[in-house]
Structure 1
Amino acid sequence: MKKLNLKSVLSLTAAAVLTLSLTACSGGSGSSGTPAPAGSGAPAEGSVYKVGICNYVDDASLNQIVENIRAQLDAIGAEKGVTFEVSYDNCNADTNVLNQIIANFIADDVDLMVGVATPVAVAMQTATEDNQIPVVFSAVSDPVGAGLVESLEAPGANLTGTSDYLDTNSIMNLILAANPDTAKIGLLYDQGQDSSTTPIAHAREYLEANHIDYVERTGTTTDEVMLAAQALVADGVDAVFTPTDNTIMTAELSIYETFIDAGIPHYTGADSFALNGAFLGYGVDYANLGVETANMVAGILLDGNDPASTAVMTFDNGTATVNTETCQALGLNYDEIEAAFAPLCTKVQSITTAESFGDLPNG
């Protein structure tokens, strides 16, 4: 056997002490028992894990994500015999409030933070550069473009999560399937929303390649969005496209009747827009996105998964949600629309106008 010199013994002793120290600090605080070693897949019975969740704005899609994260964490906790102690807050798109919420999470010594929407994830990234608290983001349309991860397959740092990436070309194809004579399309978005940057760029490329005119209108507040919607009507557009833009989503209930009265269908990047009156929402299942976000949280806290090597989860964007009330008000036949959309979608489903999904019959 090879003999160890004094330097080797001291190095091994220091490593052992460091390992014990890290093990004692990992996992939850543990209201009873001792937290299991990180990565063991066997959390101690009664362990408590503190999770801070911050939502960007109060809208149907993002709220649906939060509701499903909390429900899934409760279910996992019951199954594993642990508790996820969730602290939840909503910054309502206020940067100062957002930074204070994150500071409160850090002061409360949370085990992990969840950032719902791109601006929250970016703020959490900045706040955890030194402390390396794990962050799981949700509903980030372009994690690479936003600089949150090095790649979808290998994030490379303390952040990973779920993406609601939008296939813009598919929505453009739906617009032309419903009306092959479409000559001008309005692009309605908030220039300050990272979630709009890439899909709007893709929309321009598509429209220019297909020789379709377009006009862009933007807004950063509900009042500005209302004015932008009125301007698009005056512009004489045949349809309007909005990506997964939280500012426009928040304003949808204030603008959908403007487009209906003008006979203009509003095509959007999430079913919550259709819930709030837009003609169509195309994109991911946000309830499932919330569930999978919670599963990633549990994987990091209970199983010791490393965010740096946990791939960002993307989803099938093939579901088209049509508001049947808006469809009728626009003078369109739902059965004909469904038939036109079906070959281009994984699924076509209907919805009626409401403020939140919980307000729907049997919702």
Structure 2
Amino acid sequence: MKNSTKKLSFLLAGLGLLLAACGSSETSTDSTADSSTGTSEEGKTFKVGITQIVEHPSLDAATEGFKAALEEAGLNVEFVEENAQNDQSMNMTIAQNLVNEGVDLIFANSTPSAQAVKGATSDIPLIFTSVTDAVGSELIESMEAPGGNVTGTIDLHPDTIANTVAFLKDELGAKKVGTVYNTGEQNSVAQIEQVKTLLGEAGIELEEAAVSTSAEVKQATESLIGKVDSLYIITDNTVVSALESVVDVANANELPLMVGELDSVERGGLGAYGFEYYDIGFEAGQMAVKILNGEATPSEIPAAYPANLKLLINKGTAEGLGLEIQESWNAEIYE
């Protein structure tokens, strides 16, 4: 009887070990499946650095979109957010501080911000937005194959400047266009070169006024009065951060003011061919999600142009200029 009891106990113990082994194998398989889908480890918190060159509605909207994409993906994220207030020295310091902080990824909102971060690290993934010419500013090797630790979203649709020049010529009858920009911003220089070329082809002269700080914007704009019949402000961070100064001068002198972004129309510009900065920030955030989840590296994610280009016209500004909005413009109206 005792021997039978011993044999039964031995068999039961062996069966228990077998079941435990099966259970262990099933758990391991589930863990592997989670990893293969690229989902982040449950409970893990990512530290993401955000650096923005200056505060203005378009850049702020892009940062908001970036954060929303990460939150929508369900990631646990601790944001380390800094703003350089258009101070280049502070911009460089912020980049180095984020690297020293040991963040998992850095989101750089503007060309100067992205350039500073790239100069500070070649290891930490860098996602940019609000950059006009990522190749020319040497952030990436090409749009299709960025290379290195950098990728992101561009803030200039290929047709934006061409459409704006056509509008200035065909709808506003412009002969001499004035612009104000920061010659120290590489993205602005690249845009102005394109503006100058296209205006020249259209038989329109370009009068330029250079600034280095937002405090100089109003005086620079006033220097154009009497020399031009319209104004065109591109997506220059220094000037856009002080856009109200340009709007005041334009309105006081009854000059149509075309701008480079939709937010600037809402702030008083006559019109713009643009897109929502929130959207390019959101798309940059989706890129970040793939990288944080281990689904891709920055070099494997092509940089992207904005989509959904549209013309937005400020009704109040148009009325102030005595302009009648034409159906042929196919414009959305801001009231």
The offset of 1:245, in angstroms, is 0.5
Name the CA shift for 1:219/1:143 in 2 (closer, same or farther; >3 Å). Answer: same
| Alignment partner of 1:120 is 2:124 | no
Q: Please show how residues 64-75 of structure 1 align to structure 2 within 5 Å.
A: 64-75=61-72
How far, CA to CA, are the matches of 2:41 and 2:244 in structure 1? 47
| Alignment partner of 1:341 is 2:322 | no
The offset of 1:199, in angstroms, is 1.8
204, 215, 219: which is aligned to 1:227? 219
2:264 paired residue number: 273
1:351 paired residue number: 334
**Unaligned stretches of 5+ in structure 1?**
1-33, 343-347, 353-363
Contact 1:249-1:272 within 8 A present in 2 as well: no
How far, CA to CA, are the matches of 1:210 and 1:169 in structure 2? 10
Aligned-partner SS, 2:252: helix
Name the CA shift for 1:264/1:340 in 2 (closer, same or farther; >3 Å). Answer: farther
**Unaligned stretches of 5+ in structure 2?**
1-30
Name the CA shift for 1:209/1:46 in 2 (closer, same or farther; >3 Å). Answer: same
Aligned-partner SS, 1:233: coil
Under a length normalisation based on structure 2, what TM-score does the superposition of the two structures give? 0.85
How far, CA to CA, are the matches of 2:250 and 2:32 in structure 1? 56
The offset of 1:276, in angstroms, is 1.7
The offset of 1:340, in angstroms, is 3.8
The offset of 1:279, in angstroms, is 1.1
How far, CA to CA, are the matches of 1:39 and 1:281 in structure 2? 44
Equivalent pairs: percent with the same residue?
29
Q: Please show how residues 1-363 of structure 1 align to structure 2 within 5 Å.
A: 41-77=38-74, 82-129=75-122, 132-166=123-157, 167-179=160-172, 181-235=173-227, 237-316=228-307, 318-334=309-325, 336=326, 339-342=327-330, 348-352=331-335
Under a length normalisation based on structure 1, what TM-score does the superposition of the two structures give? 0.79
Name the CA shift for 1:144/1:264 in 2 (closer, same or farther; >3 Å). Answer: same
Name the CA shift for 1:158/1:324 in 2 (closer, same or farther; >3 Å). Answer: same
Contact 1:177-1:341 within 8 A present in 2 as well: no
How far, CA to CA, are the matches of 1:137 and 1:264 in structure 2? 34
Contact 1:36-1:42 within 8 A present in 2 as well: no
The offset of 1:214, in angstroms, is 2.2
Contact 2:151-2:303 within 8 A present in 1 as well: yes
How far, CA to CA, are the matches of 2:133 and 2:53 in structure 1? 16
**Cα-to-partner distance string for 1:159-197 (whole Å, 9 max, x where unaligned):** 000111243111101112322x32111122111111212
> Which runs of at least 4 in structure 1 moved beyond 6 Å after TM superposition?
34-39
How far, CA to CA, are the matches of 2:212 and 2:206 in structure 1? 20
**Coordinate RMSD, CA, aligned:** 2.0
Which 10-residue stretch deviates more, 109-118 or 207-216? Answer: 207-216
